[in-house]
Amino acid sequence: MAQPEPIITVDQLVKTYGDKNVVDSVSFEVKKGEIFGILGPNGAGKTTTLEMLEALRTIDGGTATIDGIDVAGEPRRIKNIIGIQLQSTMFYDKLTLRE
């Protein structure tokens, strides 16, 4: 049986603040219908990785696509097709009232 195409593809994702890499070359795929979790200690970059996938933080290196849409290239389109609730709620500088 053929494997389903990935709905999320992350390839060598990088986020830096100054000279500190907070996400360092993270890669993974999530196939449609798959249950997926990101585990790690505090400060490992889990939330930052998700925020980059949500187009709430800029991607400093690598690529990420959701349903074939480039996250960095089409952030507004990404925000229109996803919905996420993390364990704590906060307001982001880039989020408008409408969003």
Question: Rounded CA gap, 99 and 90, in Å?
Answer: 13
Question: Rounded CA gap, 72 and 12, in Å?
Answer: 14
Instruction: Provide the H-helix boundaries in the chain.
Output: 46-53, 75-81
Render pLDDT for 41-89 as a digit per residue (tens, 0 to 9).
999 999 999 999 999 999 999 999 999 999 999 999 999 999 876 666 5
- Segments making up each domain of the chain, as ranges: 6-81
Architecture of domain 6-81: 3-Layer(aba) Sandwich (3.40)
pLDDT band of residue 3 (cuts 50, 70, 90) is: confident
Cβ neighbours, 10 Å, residue 5: 11
Q: What angle do CA 10, 13, 14 make, to 5 degrees?
A: 170
The per-residue pLDDT of the chain, averaged, comes to 90
pTM: 0.81
